[in-house]
């Protein structure tokens, strides 16, 4: 009985890996990209497909770390001076994109008959692009280092910075809102700023000496553990302070971009990043409820077209 239970415990990982191994090469060969392959594979094996996997949410919580690690690797490819040179794209293009898309999508929501509060909140949510999907597509196409790819990355960074203000606006617009005093708001902002400053300080004065000390021990597995600790620790710090986990990982990567151990750290993180990011896309595909799509296909189709048109313009 124990052996049978153990084998059943291995069934889900085997199904997930098999789905990825089969679907992704096929979709890449067809020129459709790996992301769509993962999503379709997840849809097939998920609870709304053949139901091989019944609880995609449990996988999603762990798989989200793939996004965190991906942003860490992206950050390691951007030195602070390069990030400073991107400031106009981050705050300029980012502001324009968020502002005009939010206005346009809010107007579309009003045309559908939604109340202005619902239309605005929906627009503010849809205007935020999936960092994981966009980064993966850019990586597949080799566009991350291209000028247009860099502009897209800049906009994504600005969107991550907007998560906290948008959540505050949503809370303010809630009919059951809990009024937060000005000192409490200033406290939240202060905590976020202190967290960012602490992360920057640790990156400037602690991380490189730490990796030098660990390298002297000549234990590769310890270096791998330290790299994971840096990524997850930075993500946790930002999450606790009310910011995005991905933003914390990205900042940690930027701070280590000039480290002499950069390439080794990147090599240690890459396998975890690839597997977890694939699991993330699989779990997203498994979460897609086809019955909801079928019952609201006209609304979804028209909304997707309107969303694509607004963001493209």
Which tens digit of pLDDT belongs to each residue from 31-52?
A: 777 888 888 988 888 888 887 8
Q: Tokens at residue 32, please? A: 């459709």
Tokens matching residue 168: 């505050």
Which residue in 199, 204, 165 sits closest to 185, CA to CA? 165
In which band, very low, low, confident or very high, does the pLDDT at 282 lie, cut at 50, 70 and 90? confident
Q: Is a pLDDT exceeding 80 seen at residue 27?
A: yes
Q: What integer pLDDT is reported at residue 78 of this predicted model?
A: 72
In terms of phi and psi (left: phi > 0; alpha: psi -120 to 50; beta: otherwise), the region of 304 is alpha
> How confident is the model over 52-68, as a mean pLDDT?
78
Q: Note the CATH number of domain 12-312.
A: 1.20.1530.20
Cβ proximity of 211 and 263 under 8 Å: no
**From start to end of the chain, where are the E strands?**
none
Give how far Cα 60 sits from Cα of 23, 45, 67, 180, 284, Å: 19, 15, 11, 32, 7
**pLDDT value of residue 176:** 58
What is the mean predicted confidence (pLDDT) over 289-298? Answer: 79
- SS3 label, residue 92: helix
Matching residue, tokens 């939604």? 114
Residues 299 and 52: beta-carbon distance below 8 Å: no
Report the 10 Å Cβ neighbour count for 2: 6
CB 196 within 8 A of CB 244: no
What's the confidence (pLDDT) of residue 4?
Answer: 46
Which pLDDT band, with edges at 50, 70 and 90, does 184 fall under?
low
How far apart are the C-alpha atoms of 62 and 47, rounded to whole Å? 18
166 pLDDT higher than 80: no
Where do the structural domains in the chain lie, given as residue ranges?
12-312
């Amino acid at each position: 009985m124990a052996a049978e239970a153990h084998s059943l415990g291995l069934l889900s990982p085997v199904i997930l890996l098999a789905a990825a191994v089969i679907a992704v090469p096929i979709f890449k060969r067809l020129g459709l990209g790996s992301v769509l392959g993962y999503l379709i594979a997840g849809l097939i094996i998920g609870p709304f497909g053949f139901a091989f996997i019944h609880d995609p949410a449990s996988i999603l919580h762990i798989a989200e770390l793939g996004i965190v690690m991906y942003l860490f690797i992206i950050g390691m490819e951007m030195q602070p001076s390069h990030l400073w040179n991107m400031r106009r794209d981050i705050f300029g293009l980012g502001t324009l994109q968020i502002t005009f898309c939010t206005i346009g999508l809010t107007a579309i929501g009003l045309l559908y008959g939604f109340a202005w509060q619902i239309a605005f909140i929906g627009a503010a949510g849809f205007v935020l692009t999936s960092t994981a999907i966009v980064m993966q597509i850019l990586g597949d196409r080799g566009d991350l280092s291209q000028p247009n790819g860099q502009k897209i990355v800049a906009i994504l960074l600005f969107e991550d910075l907007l998560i906290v203000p948008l959540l505050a606006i949503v809370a303010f617009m809630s009919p059951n809102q809990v009024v937060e005093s000005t000192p409490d708001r200033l406290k939240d902002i202060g905590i976020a700023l202190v967290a960012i400053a602490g992360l920057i300080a640790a990156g400037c004065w602690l991380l490189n000496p730490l990796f030098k000390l660990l390298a002297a021990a000549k234990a590769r597995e310890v270096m791998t553990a330290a790299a994971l600790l840096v990524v997850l620790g930075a993500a946790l710090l930002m999450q606790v302070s009310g910011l995005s986990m991905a933003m914390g990982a990205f900042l940690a990567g930027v701070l280590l971009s000039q480290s002499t151990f950069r390439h080794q750290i990147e090599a240690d993180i890459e396998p975890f990043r690839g597997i977890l990011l694939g699991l993330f896309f699989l779990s997203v595909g498994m979460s897609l409820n086809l019955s909801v799509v079928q019952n609201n296909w006209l609304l979804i189709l028209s909304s997707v077209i309107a969303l694509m048109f607004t963001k493209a313009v």
